Amino acid sequence: MTKRNKLLLINPLSTKRRGLIRDQQSIFPPMALGIIAALTPEHWEIEVVDENFERFTYREADLVGITALTSQVTRAYELASVYKEKGISTVMGGIHVSMLPDEAAQYADSVVIGEAESVWGTLIHDFESGTLKKRYQGNLLPLVDSPFPRIDLYHPGYVFGSVQTTRGCPMSCDFCSVHTFNGHQYRARPVKEVVDEFEKIPQQRVYIVDDNLIGYTKKSADRVLEICQEIIRRGIKKDWLCAASMNIADHEEVLHFAAEAGCKMIFLGIESELIDQLESANKRTNLKIGIAHFDEVYQKIHAHGIAVLGAFIFGLDTDTPLTIANRTKYMLNSDIDAMQASILTPLPGTPLFNRMVAEDRLIHKNFPEDWARYDFVEVVYRPALMTQEELTSEINKNWAKLYDEKNLKRKFLNALKKSRNPDAALWSYNSNLHYYNLVFENKRERISIIDQIYLGD
């Protein structure tokens, strides 16, 4: 019997996070690796090493594939170097290396730039014939007949499963590289394919990983409606979370069926409650809705028994201690249930990154080591109106206030009152705990809100 080629796929864990206890509720299966595995011919043996669960130990392979976000890439390069030194071919792909292929080429034999679907078959063929190229440029294909990720290769410990139903975004937010990587065209998968994949997910809880499930047209909203109705028609009972632009509130029928189909919480990229900051971030949808109408958005989502996860940024260029404190007040006093307040982070491929480089404002630029710091919980640039130390100290103070136990309990009770859905309220509470643990690096054990509330603490 001839020996099968072995493909080793690695999901690296950021060097900064190594050694910390991971919150199982906040990690998601490495979908890019699952897709690569699905694209690989059947005569290959495939193994996935997932550092979310196990520290990498060396194992034999004929070809090694690694994908990484910016904060993971330092570790990804370490692991790629291990195999490169042994003369084993390594391939890297994903959003970071697509933005900086020259950097990645120092550590990997081959770099896939862009989405891999259109080139992975060729890459494997080239490898088998001994003609692996240094670069492969992927094209943006229509999302029809997309291979289902090889979920059988994921670690069984994931609490959440995941599915992707669209790619691409017509917007150009200053801090985001999605449109650079996945293109400006909003590409959607057919309803049947999405629901077939959704149905196969073994976990009870699912994260729909689209950057924006709802999109900007009636056609895209109708597609979501059909997905939800098909989930209901098939009797699939799963709970899920998705991200959407704030205009999802314009589609009450979608919200109604989304709730019935298991949607528990919607992630909204709100970013700021100040018009000038939304303008400088080029957050056009939120500007169009108008800050005065944000409350209506939260109310409409709550009215269907779904919790609101609001994502905000600390450290925008016009931020001062006062504006940051006001943003915290806004988050605490509005009907947002789960509160994510991350630090402005210039990622390669974004207009923000290019501007920070041009203005020589990056503080941590000993790359690739410093990429691990680009994880949204560290100030890596010189702020415009404060020192780095002042901004860090202000953010720490505001995080402590946001995730204060009393505030989390208050948020939970408010979510319960407004959504009238204990499951949705619990999802939002768990998200707040996750963000607390992320920003304070697991320094506090999970508190049991249920015990405290019902014991009257």
Residue from 30, 149, 269, 310 that binds ligand SF4 (CB under 6 A)?
269
Segment contacting ligand SF4 by CB under 6 A, of 172-180, 185-193, 393-401, 423-431: 172-180
Q: How far is the CB of 271 from ligand SF4 (least distance, A)?
A: 8
Contact 452, 427 (CB under 8 A): no
Q: How far is the CB of 223 from ligand SF4 (least distance, A)?
A: 17
| Nearest residue to 175 (alpha-carbon basis) of 99, 282, 276, 73 | 282
For residue 167, the SS3 value is strand
Query: Based on CB atoms, which residue is closest to ligand SF4, 119 or 171?
Result: 171
Applying CB under 6 A, does 297 fall inside the site for ligand SF4?
Answer: no
Query: Based on CB atoms, which residue is closest to ligand SF4, 311 or 363?
Result: 311
Q: How far is the CB of 285 from ligand SF4 (least distance, A)?
A: 6
What DSSP state is assigned to residue 293? G
Cα 236 to Cα 166, 199, 202, 374, distances in angstroms: 21, 7, 11, 38
Sign of CA dihedral 303, 304, 305, 311: negative
Q: How far is the CB of 336 from ligand SF4 (least distance, A)?
A: 17
Residues 188-227 close enough to bind ligand SF4 by CB under 6 A:
211-212
CA–CA separation, 228 and 222 (whole Å): 10
| Nearest residue to 145 (alpha-carbon basis) of 99, 183, 193, 104 | 193
Applying CB under 6 A, does 173 fall inside the site for ligand SF4?
Answer: yes
Q: How far is the CB of 158 from ligand SF4 (least distance, A)?
A: 24
Applying CB under 6 A, does 344 fall inside the site for ligand SF4?
Answer: no
| Nearest residue to 347 (alpha-carbon basis) of 178, 195, 102 | 178
Q: Distance from CA of residue 208 to its chain's centroid?
A: 10
Cα 206 to Cα 225, 281, 327, distances in angstroms: 17, 30, 30
Could you tell me the two tokens for 440?
A: 């304070």
Q: Are strands 205-208 and 187-188 parallel, antiparallel or unpaired?
A: unpaired
Q: What is the DSSP string of 3-50?
A: PPEEEEEEEPPPTTTTTSPP-GGG----HHHHHHHHHS-TTEEEEEEE
Query: Based on CB atoms, which residue is closest to ligand SF4, 171 or 258?
Result: 171
Query: Based on CB atoms, which residue is closest to ligand SF4, 212 or 428?
Result: 212
Query: Based on CB atoms, which residue is closest to ligand SF4, 52 or 165?
Result: 165
Contact 75, 107 (CB under 8 A): no
Segment contacting ligand SF4 by CB under 6 A, of 43-51, 147-155, 174-182, 366-374: 174-182
Query: Based on CB atoms, which residue is closest to ligand SF4, 74 or 212?
Result: 212
Residue from 13, 32, 169, 209 that binds ligand SF4 (CB under 6 A)?
169
Applying CB under 6 A, does 179 fall inside the site for ligand SF4?
Answer: yes
Contact 67, 30 (CB under 8 A): yes
Q: Distance from CA of residue 303 to its chain's centroid?
A: 26
- Size, binding site for ligand SF4 by CB under 6 A: 10
Applying CB under 6 A, does 176 fall inside the site for ligand SF4?
Answer: yes
Applying CB under 6 A, does 309 fall inside the site for ligand SF4?
Answer: no
Q: How far is the CB of 171 from ligand SF4 (least distance, A)?
A: 4
Applying CB under 6 A, does 178 fall inside the site for ligand SF4?
Answer: yes
| Footprint of ligand SF4 (CB under 6 A) | 169, 171-173, 176, 178-179, 211-212, 269
